[in-house]
Structure 1
Amino acid sequence: MKKFLLASALTISTMSFAQIDFSNTRFGIIAGGNYSGVKNAHNPSGKRLTMQAGVLALIPIGSENQFFLQPEVVYFGAGETGKNKDSKGTDGYDAVYANNYLSVPINFKAYFSEAESEFFGLIGPRFNFLLSQKVKNAPLSRPYYNPDYVVADNPELTGKASSFNFGVGIGAGYSYKRQLEIAAKYDFGLSNTYPGLNHEPKGTSKSKSEQVISLTLSYIFK
């Protein structure tokens, strides 16, 4: 809860102290690839390659053509697999733990200058709402690994993904004429992706933090 309040405070303070010009908002589309993982969740643990796609708004802050608020609404794939390079041939290596979200990042965006084509930086909170959780090839030899991830008589083993999680992202990119933009971003989860999964790996009760590295291409309409 403290982490959620911190992320919310960051968003509110940005909007409170800045002169936001909603009348000159521009809209765009965004798509790209995600490379995700979850700390302390599964054993073996590897990365998942998936995608994101959605829409964005570019809202000016102040009179300079340099600072903006960029909220987005995107389909956002995350989760992990069992494909750890040191675990080939072991039970769970072919597992896929797919978490798919409706994601709402709210980025503070700063171009390095007012030039039409320029580099920029991004930072801000991300709020994820779970759309679906799909588990494939989980190691059924362990009772708490089952396709539905539910153990009715032993709830502390439940591997259901949380219906809501949040984190903070930071990134950088390049804009061509303030329309076509490419960006790389790292999102670090601040909440527990699997709040009921306390026995993997090897009995850990540490928070299961979801992390995503993404590369996106955006087109912003005039």
Structure 2
Amino acid sequence: MKKIIIIGFVLLIGLANAQFIKYGVTANFHQSSIVKVHDYSKGAFGGGIGIFADVSLVPNDIYDSAWLYFTPQLEFNTLGENANHPKEEKQKYHNNYIGLPLYIKYFLRNNGYKGDLYFMAGPRLEFLVSEKRSGPPADFEAQEQNISSFGYGVSVGAGIKINDKLDAFIRFDRGFSKIYPDYTRDATYNRMLALGINYYIGETN
């Protein structure tokens, strides 16, 4: 909780000094998996929803013309995977996270003005809020009893502006922290490939 408070304080400082801010809601449909842990594993489909803000980082003399933004995002995502053993019942590992991606968003420019296509990249923090597993025990079940409550990684993506209120994006998240800290065979981590939309609901100067 202290980490969330510190991060929130830093974000508030950045927002207070921003020249132009647009904010809204975001949603995505994704496939996720926990890498290097379960045999016969297949990614699990899930969804996410959250809020975000586009904070301009460059001079913005002309309305909505900034091409570089800091974009913090707070989201809820369902992550995990399914393990389809050919001789056993399906094993399911479904974990729910509060995520905090912190993007730098760069819009390609057209004659000096912000274009419709953008790229984004930045670190992502995640906080486990619940886990659920079902099916027969895994081969290394004892090493999977302890699951990390905090994780970190990176998120990268690209998007396109559809109109003044809506854009669509594709995004890939890759974790760097271990999901199961006691698992000794390999370093386990979350990964996710998502398609999503951002809907802008307001702005401020």
TM-score, reference length from structure 2 = 0.81
Summarize deviations over 1:153-174 as a string: whole Å, max 9, x none: xxxx243321000100111010
Alignment of 1:4-153 (within 5 A): 21-64=17-60, 65-83=66-84, 87=85, 89-91=86-88, 94-113=90-109, 115=113, 118-137=116-135, 139-140=136-137, 145=141
Alignment partner of 1:216 is 2:196: yes
Distance apart, 1:23 and its partner CA: 4.7
Distance apart, 1:40 and its partner CA: 1.3
What corresponds to 2:7 in structure 1? none
Moved over 4 A (4+): 114-117
Distance apart, 1:38 and its partner CA: 1.3
AA of the residue aligned to 2:38: H
Distance apart, 1:21 and its partner CA: 4.8
TM-score, reference length from structure 1 = 0.75
Cα–Cα, structure 1 residues 140 and 25, in superposed 2: closer, same or farther, change >3 Å?
Answer: same
Cα–Cα, structure 1 residues 34 and 160, in superposed 2: closer, same or farther, change >3 Å?
Answer: farther
The structure with more strand, counted as a fraction of residues: 2
Distance 1:21 1:67 in 2: 15
Residue correspondences, number: 182
- What SS is found at the alignment partner of 1:22? coil
Alignment partner of 1:174 is 2:160: yes
- What SS is found at the alignment partner of 1:112? strand
Distance apart, 1:116 and its partner CA: 6.3
Distance apart, 1:176 and its partner CA: 2.4
Distance 1:73 1:179 in 2: 19
Distance apart, 1:42 and its partner CA: 1.3
Distance apart, 1:62 and its partner CA: 1.1
AA of the residue aligned to 1:76: N
Summarize deviations over 1:88-121 as a string: whole Å, max 9, x none: x3225x1110111000000000111265660100
Distance 2:70 2:165 in 1: 16
Structure 2 unaligned runs (5+)?
1-9, 61-65
Distance apart, 1:52 and its partner CA: 0.4
Distance 2:123 2:91 in 1: 30
Cα–Cα, structure 1 residues 68 and 90, in superposed 2: closer, same or farther, change >3 Å?
Answer: same
Structure 1 contact 77–99 (Cα < 8 Å) conserved: yes
Structure 1 contact 110–122 (Cα < 8 Å) conserved: yes
Summarize deviations over 1:168-205 as a string: whole Å, max 9, x none: 0111010123420101011111110111233xxxxx2x
Structure 1 contact 50–78 (Cα < 8 Å) conserved: yes
Distance 1:178 1:191 in 2: 37
Cα–Cα, structure 1 residues 49 and 141, in superposed 2: closer, same or farther, change >3 Å?
Answer: closer
Alignment partner of 1:188 is 2:174: yes
Distance apart, 1:122 and its partner CA: 0.5
